A and B are shown apart, each in its own frame.
Chain A
Amino acid sequence: MSRLHSRVWAPARIVAAGALLAMALAQAASPQPATTGERWSAEDLAVLASLSLKRLAPTPVDPSNAVERLPAAVDLGERLFNDARFSRNGAVSCASCHDPRKQFQDGLPVGQGVGTGSRRAMPIVGAAYSSWLFWDGRKDSLWAQALGPLEDAVEHGGNRTRHAQLVAEHYRKDYEALFGAMPRLDGLPRDAGPGGSAAEKAAWAALDARQRDGVSRVFSNMGKAIAAYEKSLQHAPSRLDRYIDAVVRSDPAARGLLQASELRGLRLFIGKAQCVSCHNGPLFTDQQFHNTGVPPLDAARPDRGRAAATAKVRGDEFNCLGPFSDARPTQCQELRFMVSDDAALEGAFKTPGLRGVAQRPPYMHAGQLGTLEQVVRHYVAAPHAVVGHSELTHRHAGASAPPHVERAPIELTAAEAADLVSFLGTLGSEQPSAPAGP
């Protein structure tokens, strides 16, 4: 029975209109009062309300990070975040690619650390609400994510032994106040780590287990402090939030908050443009992995996204089940119930949040699309995916909509596309993102 209904959308609109007539008449008879200047159905109002920042749940607790709420951890984390000494060339800090003045990203198609990365730096505010971090979700906590770039050859180009020694040299007092006495680091090589150069790997293998554990523990605690800082960052309300909150309480102040094109774009966003099917909730993301046929950066070696990441997160020594996690194994439910064996993961990437999106081009996981106009055109064109299978429905030119599909093609005129882009400009914070307090 459900299959029959899912085919209703594309070809049977006229037939459906009869059934929908009664519904439409009911909605038309009780629309939003005209005091707010725009008629929204009860159903649309519910969707609008769900997008408001006021509906954002309290920051989730991460049981694997025991210090995440401590102000001292936030403070230490902010200093580590901005300290470029934690890199091979002394010039790359987290802030290099996650610039606090640019919504904690860098405006580049792919990150530029000591070398050139392969993916777009993601903004950080709101990342605490993701169960999986990075575009492919290969880390299962904010603190484990922070450790990735610190040891990545093209990002910071560092290694955990050097990082631990830097913490001892420059942050011992504040580190020990949070985490207890540092392990003995004397006699260790300057550079050693499991993922670096051949020399670094050899030096790491030459350490005994106690030394490796001590270094890895300091390294994991760096991540936990950085995560505490990142978690303290919050979105400020947008103009759209002000509009939605006014509409929901039938406040005439709503009138004039959005321009006509922005209102038309909002209606498309929650309607036939289908954006809200993935870009939903107060952060405009369902936090899930989707393949939308974004052209790969390198067609010869396309990025498999989530499909290649589940093995990484399961095998990560810094995951929820690992020895450096503060969580009990029963608290690691996301890992336990992770989808890992599904063709839909091929070429799938995490839905990014859209707050502030208009101010941070370029777009997609390797910055492949330079403008929001190109993004909207991409969704309308719905190209076939190079790797995996796109969830979008491609309508071949001159043909009617394919019958056996679950999602109707996204069809927008040029004017509608412009309205949608105009609407996306209403999602920016009206004040800069900042930590919640000293």
Chain B
Amino acid sequence: MNRFISTALSLAAVVAIAGCASPPPDLDLALTRPSVDRKYVVTLQPPAVPAAINQLHSWRVSLASPAGAPIAQARIRVDGGMPQHGHGLPTQPQVTQDLPDGSYLIEGLKFSMTGWWEIKLAIDGPGGADKVTFNTVVSAPGAGH
């Protein structure tokens, strides 16, 4: 009986939490996604070592046509934020280099806290303008997820 009550209380506690406790359980974390109008296939590559909270760091992005041909010399703008908190990115990341392998270097990303962040790319390439949104969940160091 006590376990039932404590379970019910735990459930009530979890349900009552309206803070930024958990990202949605079925969040799509794929790092390769088609853009919204399917003009491009976009791959986002995080840094090999996750950055610390509030540390400026870089990601890479590569573009391909739906047939898989790499696309260079596109213009990419970066936006995003934390949907559960209603705020944007704390910095203005930019594509600063077109890399030799055809990918693009995005510098100036920073996450100001743990949780669910969106990285939104606006792409202007040979196929025209399109957009794509990636989800990433920033976890605490040593969280062991």
Chain A residues engaging chain B, CB cutoff 8 angstroms: 1-3, 5-6, 8-10, 13, 16-17, 19-21, 23-25, 27-28, 31, 39, 41, 43, 46-47, 49-50, 55, 57, 129, 131, 267, 270-274, 276-277, 280-281, 286-288, 290, 333-334, 336-342, 344, 391, 405-408, 411
Contact (A406, B14) CB under 8 Å given A333-B56, A337-B56, A339-B91: no
Smallest beta-carbon distance B94→chain A, Å: 7
Q: Which listed residue (B56, B84, B90, B140) contacts A46, Cβ 8 A? A: B140
| Cβ of B101 under 8 Å from chain A | no
For A333, the chain B residues whose CB sits under 8 A away are 56, 107-108
For A8, the chain B residues whose CB sits under 8 A away are 24
Quick check: A274 and B19 within 8 Å, CB to CB?
yes
Q: Which listed residue (A41, A334, A337, A405) contacts B86, Cβ 8 A? A: A405
A340 to B19, CA, bound (A): 28
Contact (A17, B15) CB under 8 Å given A50-B114, A337-B91, A337-B108: yes
For B67, the chain A residues whose CB sits under 8 A away are none
Contact (A2, B92) CB under 8 Å given A16-B15, A23-B14: no
For A405, the chain B residues whose CB sits under 8 A away are 86
Quick check: B85 and A391 within 8 Å, CB to CB?
yes
| Contacts of B43-63 to chain A: CB distance below 8 A | 52-54, 56
Quick check: B135 and A277 within 8 Å, CB to CB?
no
Contacts A13-B18, A28-B10, A286-B113 known; list 20 others, CB within 8 Å.
A20-B11, A24-B13, A27-B14, A39-B6, A49-B140, A131-B54, A271-B21, A273-B19, A281-B54, A281-B113, A288-B87, A288-B112, A334-B56, A337-B92, A339-B89, A344-B88, A391-B86, A406-B83, A406-B84, A407-B86
For A43, the chain B residues whose CB sits under 8 A away are 21-22
For B128, the chain A residues whose CB sits under 8 A away are none
- What 7 pairs across the A-B complex have the smallest Cβ distances? A337-B108, A406-B86, A408-B18, A28-B10, A5-B24, A24-B11, A286-B112
| Cβ of B1 under 8 Å from chain A | no
Quick check: B143 and A276 within 8 Å, CB to CB?
no
A129 to B18, CA, bound (A): 29
| Cβ of B27 under 8 Å from chain A | yes
For B15, the chain A residues whose CB sits under 8 A away are 13, 16-17, 20, 24
16 contacts between A and B (CB under 8 A): A6-B83, A9-B18, A24-B11, A24-B13, A28-B11, A271-B17, A274-B19, A277-B113, A281-B53, A341-B92, A342-B88, A391-B85, A391-B86, A391-B87, A406-B86, A407-B84
For A286, the chain B residues whose CB sits under 8 A away are 54, 90, 112-113
Q: Which listed residue (A10, A27, A270) contacts B19, Cβ 8 A? A: A270
Chain B interface bracket (under 10, 10 to 19, 20 to 34, 35 or more): 35 or more
Q: Which listed residue (A57, A273, A336) contacts B52, Cβ 8 A? A: A57
Smallest beta-carbon distance A355→chain B, Å: 17
Q: Which listed residue (B86, B92, B107) contacts A340, Cβ 8 A? A: B92
If over half of B's interface residues share one DSSP class (helix, strand or loop), that class is named, otherwise mixed; here it is: loop
Quick check: A6 and B84 within 8 Å, CB to CB?
yes
Q: Which listed residue (A20, A281, A287, A407) contacts B14, Cβ 8 A? A: A20
**What 1/0 flags go to B79-116 for Cβ under 8 Å of A?**
00001111111111110000000000001101011100
| Cβ of B65 under 8 Å from chain A | no
| Cβ of B28 under 8 Å from chain A | yes
Chain B residues engaging chain A, CB cutoff 8 angstroms: 6-7, 10-11, 13-22, 24-25, 27-28, 52-54, 56, 83-94, 107-108, 110, 112-114, 118, 133, 135, 139-143
Contact (A5, B27) CB under 8 Å given A274-B20, A408-B18: yes
A17 to B13, CA, bound (A): 11
For A406, the chain B residues whose CB sits under 8 A away are 83-86
For A341, the chain B residues whose CB sits under 8 A away are 92
A198 to B89, CA, bound (A): 42
Smallest beta-carbon distance A252→chain B, Å: 20
Quick check: A25 and B7 within 8 Å, CB to CB?
yes
For A2, the chain B residues whose CB sits under 8 A away are 27, 83, 118, 133, 135
Smallest beta-carbon distance A292→chain B, Å: 11
Quick check: A280 and B113 within 8 Å, CB to CB?
yes
